[in-house]
Amino acid sequence: MSVKKFFWEDPYRTTLDAKVTSVTDNVITVDRTIAFAFSGGQASDCGTINGYNIIRAEKVGKEIFYTIDGEHDINVGDEVIIMIDWEKRYRIMKLHFAAEIILELVYKNFGYPEKTGANISDTKARVDFVWNGNISETFPFLYSEANRLIELNLPITSDFSNVEDEERYWEVLDFGKVSCGGTHLKTTGEIGLIKLKRDNIGKNKERIEITLVNS
């Protein structure tokens, strides 16, 4: 089974009608959705299905299983309304693309260090690298280049590289083209001002934490 993922087609959509395709206790699947399920380090959306809070969203293959809370009255075949917490999603999208920019800048300008982890919530994003020394030495360069790309307000294209396997990419001309199944902004300018923080997370392991200044 697979669900049509409207969060790719229109990541700015906040409400969607869908049809329920399965119900097992509090776990529901639908024919189409806007509620993102954790993958590639991007957090799941907060949202509701017919007013019931989505307390868990799990992506398995091309399907997404939503666990809703409470005693629900939803049955297979029902038309339901899916809503997402847009303020939270938009912060996730800004932090996600800020992390994409920082990652590309580090890769291309500092010898493609190995990435050991990444995570994007609605309050901060982080990217971890195998790194000798203090990664904050790169910050003056990263601030200057990231702010330049954000101020230029460049268009971001997102599309399938493989429809059958649901493989996606984003592209900013003259900057980068990267495989990613997350939800991406339309323009770099939406990110606004960012703040970087360094953390040493172990021997030869450095973390860059990204936060938004204005959101």
Quote the CA–CA distance of 18 and 16 in Å, as a whole number: 6
User: Please, what is the minimum distance in Å from the beta carbon of residue 133 to Zn ion?
Assistant: 27
Question: Minimal CA–CA distance to 183: which of 104, 124, 96, 121?
Answer: 96
User: Please, what is the minimum distance in Å from the beta carbon of residue 183 to Zn ion?
Assistant: 8
Considering the complex, state which of residue 47 and residue 182 has its C-beta at the smaller distance from Zn ion: 182
CA atoms within 13 Å, Cβ hemisphere of 142: 26
Considering the complex, state which of residue 184 and residue 207 has its C-beta at the smaller distance from Zn ion: 184
User: Please, what is the minimum distance in Å from the beta carbon of residue 95 to Zn ion?
Assistant: 11
DSSP secondary structure letter of residue 75:
-
Residues contacting residue 175 through CB under 8 Å, at least 6 positions apart: 101, 104, 149, 154
Considering the complex, state which of residue 180 and residue 212 has its C-beta at the smaller distance from Zn ion: 180
Considering the complex, state which of residue 83 and residue 150 has its C-beta at the smaller distance from Zn ion: 150
DSSP secondary structure letter of residue 55:
E
Which residue's Cβ has the minimum distance to Zn ion? Answer: 180
Considering the complex, state which of residue 30 and residue 185 has its C-beta at the smaller distance from Zn ion: 185
User: Please, what is the minimum distance in Å from the beta carbon of residue 207 to Zn ion?
Assistant: 18
Three-state SS for 210? strand
Question: Minimal CA–CA distance to 176: which of 108, 96, 118?
Answer: 108
Residues contacting residue 71 through CB under 8 Å, at least 6 positions apart: none
Please name the helix (run of DSSP H) or strand (run of DSSP E) that holds residue 206, with its range, or none: strand 205-212
User: Please, what is the minimum distance in Å from the beta carbon of residue 126 to Zn ion?
Assistant: 14
Name the site residues for Zn ion (rule: CB under 5 A).
180, 182
User: Please, what is the minimum distance in Å from the beta carbon of residue 182 to Zn ion?
Assistant: 4
Considering the complex, state which of residue 11 and residue 182 has its C-beta at the smaller distance from Zn ion: 182
